[in-house]
Structure 1
Amino acid sequence: MENCDSLKCFQLELFPRLKILRISKCSNLEFICEHEGPLEDLTSLNSLKIWECPKLVSFPKGGLPASCLTELQLFDCANLKSLPVHMDALLPSLEDLRLFLLPKLEVFPEGGLPSKLKSLYIEDCSKLIAARMQWSLQSLPSLSKFTVGVDENVESFPEEMLLPSTLASLEIWSLKTLKSLNYSGLQHLTSLEQLTITDCPNLQSMPGEDPSTLAFHFYHERPVVETECLQHLCP
């Protein structure tokens, strides 16, 4: 669904067998569902992508009961203040969560993120990044890939015990004020195989030591093939 400017509400409950839903450039979309009561389990839905919907504020009050959803992407929703509630219980199959350009999003839902989450991408979400010590990523036993990017208020990263020891890949990009990598926040990442740092012009110091198996990549600018956000939205 794209460029449906007159659409204010998408009645998700009317499509219980929907497998893939992409909503893009619906400038007046405010709600995903106006249904006040709990939704029936959307067992067929496995991919949900919402792009460039500036008036979207929130998801259904009872959350999204999509037990088979594996992929959720939210891109450029300027007024979105919260993710679906009860994600840990209602989205038990979620493996890939990508959050882009969500300036009003401050915290993850109560209860945290689903335990099967494998990949988490946070870009240009200034309030959420500022509240990173509340992420509780340590509770995610399957998280193996984490990317954080586009912020002008981070001087040191990551804080001690911010990231889980299960990470195999860590990408940091376009943290314009980043001055140092915190060794105490990296030393417990015993599964880390790849660390990529891109476009962090003020980075002055690196950790004192790195695991011998670590593949480290440093770029002054992001490679051309990765400059477009949609490259990440559609890997």
Structure 2
Amino acid sequence: MRLDMSEVRQLHLNPKAFRKMHNLRFLEVHGCWNDNKVHGFEVLKSDFSELRYLRWDGYSAKSLPPNFNPKNLVALYMHSSNKQNLVNLKHIDLSYSKHLRSVPDLSLIPNLESLILEGCTNLHLSFSSNHNVNKLVLLNLRECKNLNRLSIGTHWKYLRKLILSNCSNLKTVSYIPHTVEELYVDGTAIKELPPLKDLSKLEILNLKDCSRLVSLPESTCELKSLRQVILSNCSNLKTIPYIPCAVEELYLDGTAIKELSSLDHLFRLVKLSLKNCLRLESLPEVFFHISSYSKMVVFRWNCNKRITVIRAPVQTSNIGLKNCSRLESLPESICELKSLQSLSLSDCSKLDRLPNSLGDLKALETLEVDGIAIRELPSSITVKRRYFLLRSSPPRACICYPGSKIPEWFSFKSTGFEVKLPAGWLNDNLVGFTLCAAASFRDYQELGTFKVRFRLLVNEDIVSSGDLFHYNGHEVIESDHVYVGYDYGIMSTELLTLSLNSEGHIVFFVEHGSENSIDFSKVKKCGVRLLYAKDNYMGADAKVDRDQRLRPIAGACIWKYRRDQ
């Protein structure tokens, strides 16, 4: 579509204009050089998702339409003889315009504050001629894979956040303005950084997955505002310079370091990750006395060396020793870490015993012991506590099939949306719940997505909640469906603190709608079966009929996932 405005005085657009032009690929507006003749374009409802070419000489609006999402845009031209036409434009976001090859001359937008070109994989970009972007605060070029060099001048006086993540061909960054507070260069091909000594405001330095990086500038030690240093998987990095004392998080996972210099000056350190530092043989003695300021320390380390002693700062809340293949035992002193919340010992294949007092750590919430040689847990870990500790990835599953009848083996059923739990339901042997609800697809099919959800309420307070089923599709399914599932996530650690006489009930509901509008509706029926560690009841009918469960029925599906996905 080409609009010639040279013979037109004014054009007022209805907000719904262009809405039915789903396949509009070419839009050119000219003849607006000296006047704002077109009104209302910036409030149009259309997203212009199929647009390939946009040219608008003399565009004078302050912004593009709110839903503007030209994911197939190849060319964008907004030339103007009057530079003031774009003087008020502050934000440009053309994320994931995979066919976009160039952007307008940014010198025409002197007040631009944020430029987001994330995922523009075919973009060829040069800032050499754009000397008038000195008000730019955010530059996001994440996944601009054609970018191999970035030239930024000293005139960029306000840039605070520079994102170059996963620009996999980027080899050189010649200059970084001294105003930058967050620098993301992770996943690039750089071998070295420019001097950093003038970056007095830098707080975050992310160099994760920079496999070609061989060293950090010595000037790193002068960065007094630096809080987070991420060097994970910099596999050729063998040494690190002195770490500034304000650092709170230090990630050295997968590096080639053989030794770690003194860390006793890091009095604010709360996270230290040394996973897969297979060449690291020991930690400095002073490490175990740091963090007098911190309330929490997260410590990660695994190696293939023989470990005889493991110590950590008393404030440590999270210890990960996954894949320590020669770790044979944990010292009793680990039970002195009263703040310890999580202990991961997965795949420590020679670990055959745990400290007897481990279960006395009241703050401990997660214990990961899969892949170790131990045969039984210490007696201090009670049956009830065992099911809370050993749930690093809580299992969840659901089967969905046509129908509206709650199976007979559900002990507690309701024709409404709520099941009241019986007296004495909360005891030391409780390990979970099997849940069931009946609802209809057809009531929500036009919306394309809905969730069957539940909440566990104890003494009228919400203790935990989750999804029994999540549907995201557009198929027309006419019948009611039954959802039977299990979600260990419902077993909140808060249950440990509650009285055994507490009243409880589980409510079910349907959540449906879009991102901008969410509604809630009741289910038709529901049921609950309590699961106990010492449950000898095996109902003969505790199953869905084989023919109904296995018959290929339209709309039937099995849904399961891990919480960390």
Sort the TM-score into its range (normalised by shorter chain).
0.7 to 0.9
The one-letter code matched in structure 2 to 1:217 is L
Residues of 1 paired with 2:245 and 2:284: CA distance? 23
Q: Please name the residue that 2:224 is paired with.
A: 67
How far 1:47 sits from its partner (Å)? 1.4
- Report if the CA contact (8 A) 1:175-1:200 is conserved: yes
Distance 1:66 1:56, change over 3 A: same
Residue 96 (structure 1) aligned with residue 249 (structure 2): yes
Q: Please name the residue that 1:205 is paired with.
A: 353
The one-letter code matched in structure 2 to 1:106 is K
Q: Which has the higher contact order (CA 8 A, sep 6+)?
A: 1
Residue 7 (structure 1) aligned with residue 178 (structure 2): no
Distance 1:143 1:114, change over 3 A: farther
Distance 1:39 1:140, change over 3 A: same
How do 1:38-117 and structure 2 match up within 5 A? 39-43=197-201, 45-85=202-242, 87=243, 91-103=244-256, 105-110=257-262, 112=264, 114-117=266-269
Q: Please name the residue that 1:19 is paired with.
A: 181
Deviation string 1:37-71 (CA, Å, 9 cap, x unpaired) is x822421x221111222221211123243322222
Deviation string 1:195-223 (CA, Å, 9 cap, x unpaired) is 33323232101113233414251341674
Q: Please name the residue that 1:233 is paired with.
A: none
Distance 1:143 1:80, change over 3 A: farther
Q: Please name the residue that 2:367 is paired with.
A: 217
The one-letter code matched in structure 2 to 1:102 is T
Residues of 2 paired with 1:226 and 1:122: CA distance? 21
Residues of 1 paired with 2:299 and 2:235: CA distance? 21
What 5-or-longer segments of structure 1 have no aligned partner?
228-235
Distance 1:151 1:108, change over 3 A: closer
Q: Secondary structure at the match of 1:117?
A: coil
Residues of 2 paired with 1:17 and 1:95: CA distance? 21
Q: Secondary structure at the match of 1:147?
A: strand
Q: Please name the residue that 2:330 is paired with.
A: 181
Report the RMSD for the aligned CA atoms in angstroms.
2.8
How far 1:123 sits from its partner (Å)? 0.6
Deviation string 1:115-153 (CA, Å, 9 cap, x unpaired) is 11112121101222x122446231332262333244222
- Report if the CA contact (8 A) 1:116-1:143 is conserved: no
Residues of 2 paired with 1:189 and 1:111: CA distance? 20
- Report if the CA contact (8 A) 2:261-2:284 is conserved: no
- Report if the CA contact (8 A) 2:262-2:284 is conserved: no
Deviation string 1:66-97 (CA, Å, 9 cap, x unpaired) is 32222211121121122232x2xxx3332111
Of 272, 297, 307, the residue aligned with 1:145 is 297
Give the TM-score normalised by structure 1: 0.75
The one-letter code matched in structure 1 to 2:367 is H
Residue 195 (structure 1) aligned with residue 352 (structure 2): no
Residues of 1 paired with 2:563 and 2:229: CA distance? 23
Q: Secondary structure at the match of 2:323?
A: strand
- Report if the CA contact (8 A) 2:238-2:258 is conserved: yes
| Higher fraction of strand | 2
- Stretch moving more, 134-143 or 70-79: 134-143
The one-letter code matched in structure 1 to 2:289 is Q
Residue 131 (structure 1) aligned with residue 131 (structure 2): no
Sequence identity (%): 17
The one-letter code matched in structure 2 to 1:124 is N
Structure number with larger C-alpha Rg? 2
Of 273, 277, 281, the residue aligned with 1:121 is 273
The one-letter code matched in structure 1 to 2:234 is C
Residues of 1 paired with 2:336 and 2:290: CA distance? 15
The one-letter code matched in structure 2 to 1:39 is K
Residues of 2 paired with 1:22 and 1:106: CA distance? 26
Q: Secondary structure at the match of 1:62?
A: helix
- Report if the CA contact (8 A) 1:117-1:143 is conserved: no
Aligned pairs, number:
210
Q: Secondary structure at the match of 1:204?
A: coil
Give the TM-score normalised by structure 2: 0.34
Residues of 2 paired with 1:226 and 1:177: CA distance? 28
Residues of 2 paired with 1:172 and 1:80: CA distance? 22
- Report if the CA contact (8 A) 2:209-2:233 is conserved: yes
- Report if the CA contact (8 A) 1:201-1:220 is conserved: no
Distance 1:116 1:212, change over 3 A: closer
